Amino acid sequence: MSKPLMAKATAVWLVDNTTISFKQIADFVGMHELEIQGIADGDVAAGVKGFDPVANNQLTQDDIDKAEKDPLHRLKLKFNAAAVGEEKRRGPRYTPLSKRQDRPNAILWLVKFHPELADAQIARLVGTTKPTIQTIRERTHWNISNMQPIDPVALGLCKQTELDAAVQKAAAKKAKEGQAMDDDERRKLLSTEQSLESDVEPRMPTAIEGLETFSLGGDDTEKAEPEKEYDAESFFNLPDDDGEDDEDDDKA
């Protein structure tokens, strides 16, 4: 780790207990020099308790003494074996409390529009568990009747690049296994950039194909006859039950 733990609290301790310059402290804790000056003035980190970097194995007293004597001396973070591998730790994605209620809707969207994604991929994208994904796939989730599919990118649960990478990985795995894909599945497996650049025209649904014309046989295709237009007056000159007009009855 290149920066100390509890950087602001460490800066508070160094300001209160040493004569090191603001620039040296700022470089060590990864903050701006004006923020360190604000700590010294009491405008920043008010009420923050100082964190002793010497007692917590992050600095040596000799290094502090050298920095106090030489304004150009740079403080060096002491090696901490407990911090090795801290940045490479892998685990479930953290989801803020304000967005956790939207996770089921995002899972439903991924299950519906990207069924090729594995449960492990969905779990990494939105930070959920496999049992939750399984209940949504099987529609046994306790709140399934009130759920609506919402894009996880729009909800801020993952990035578009992460979703595209997961979809491309699923496509490569499916192709490697030799499974056939139809046009709709191939279109779903395209990334955002590829989808926008594609010039494929939208197809007419098969349910309504051929309804706009009909064939009478051979290669001759004729258009459907237009509907008859009726005159309003024709409805008032209807024949009587005996087939004769009203005028004949009057004459008689």
CA atoms within 13 A on the CB side of 40: 17
Best-predicted range by mean pLDDT among 33-42, 177-186, 188-197? 33-42
| Residue owning tokens 């578009």 | 160
| Residue owning tokens 């894909």 | 181
When comparing pLDDT for 146 and 232, which is higher? 146
Q: CA-to-CA distance for 144 and 108, rounded, in angstroms?
A: 9
Question: Does residue 227 register a pLDDT over 70?
Answer: no
Pairing of strands 214-215, 221-222: antiparallel
Question: Does residue 87 register a pLDDT over 50?
Answer: no
When comparing pLDDT for 233 and 24, which is higher? 24
Contact residues for 174 (Cβ-Cβ < 8 A; gap 6+): 116, 181, 189
Question: Does residue 22 register a pLDDT over 80?
Answer: yes
Quote the pLDDT of residue 183. Answer: 54
Quote the pLDDT of residue 95. Answer: 66
Quote the pLDDT of residue 121. Answer: 92
Question: Does residue 216 register a pLDDT over 70?
Answer: no
Q: CA-to-CA distance for 88 and 91, rounded, in angstroms?
A: 10
> What value does the mean pLDDT of the chain take?
75
Quick one: how far is CA 65 from the chain centroid? 50
With cut-offs at 50, 70 and 90, classify the pLDDT of residue 127.
confident
Q: CA-to-CA distance for 154 and 145, rounded, in angstroms?
A: 22
Structural tokens at position 92:
């479930």
Quote the pLDDT of residue 189. Answer: 52
Q: Give the domain ranges of the chain.
A: 7-83, 91-197
CB 33 within 8 A of CB 42: no
49 three-class SS: coil
